[in-house]
Amino acid sequence: MEKENLNVEESLNIISEMISNTKYNISEDKFIYLMWGYAVAVSSMAHYVLQYQFGIEMAWLVWLTMPIAGVVNAVYFGRKKRKARVFSFTDRAIASVWKAFIAALFVFLFASPALGWNGIYPVLMVLYGIGTASTGGIIKYKALTVGGYLSMVVGFAAFYFGFETQLFLLSLSVTVSFIIPGHLLPKKVNV
């Protein structure tokens, strides 16, 4: 009888461990939200200062930091994927949201010569909002959800302003959708 109880206990422990392994811990991704948020915010402000305060025509070159952030992102998620033993529905759903975001991002970046940057930046702000609001909804993290919707509102407003102001609005957009939710993340949030 005791052997059966031990087997039941062991079985429950194994099941409990399996469940905890499939939980998504957004706190592990805090670094990514903060990295992208600060990278975009600093680049947009640097672009503004260089172009509109110092008159540097090639101020847009500050955006060449984005591929560096992309490499850091790829390395981070590559390592995370190698470590993971189980991929939950939440993992797959969030990955799908951000893969679609990246595809849409590239569509609009390559369309920028036809649309102009003052037509692209508001769309990017809306895309940031969609990505973060969707992720927040999937994992039930209100700060990301609210930040995402605020980013969409900022993106909508940006359509009615010139490029110079859009640089400020872009910084605001990533602040509310990436930076603030990233800093508000507790040490461990499992869903």
Per-residue model confidence as pLDDT tens digits over 125-159: 999 999 999 999 998 999 999 999 999 999 999 99
Q: Residue 55: left (phi > 0), alpha (psi -120 to 50), or beta?
A: left
Residue-wise pLDDT for 33-73, tens only, equals 999 999 999 999 999 999 999 999 999 999 999 999 999 99
Asked if pLDDT for residue 183 goes beyond 50, the answer is: yes
Asked if pLDDT for residue 22 goes beyond 50, the answer is: no
Query: What ranges make up the beta strands (E) of the chain?
Result: none
Long-range contacts of the stretch 97-106 (C-beta < 8 A, 24+): 97/131, 97/134, 97/135, 97/138, 98/131, 98/135, 101/127, 101/130, 101/131
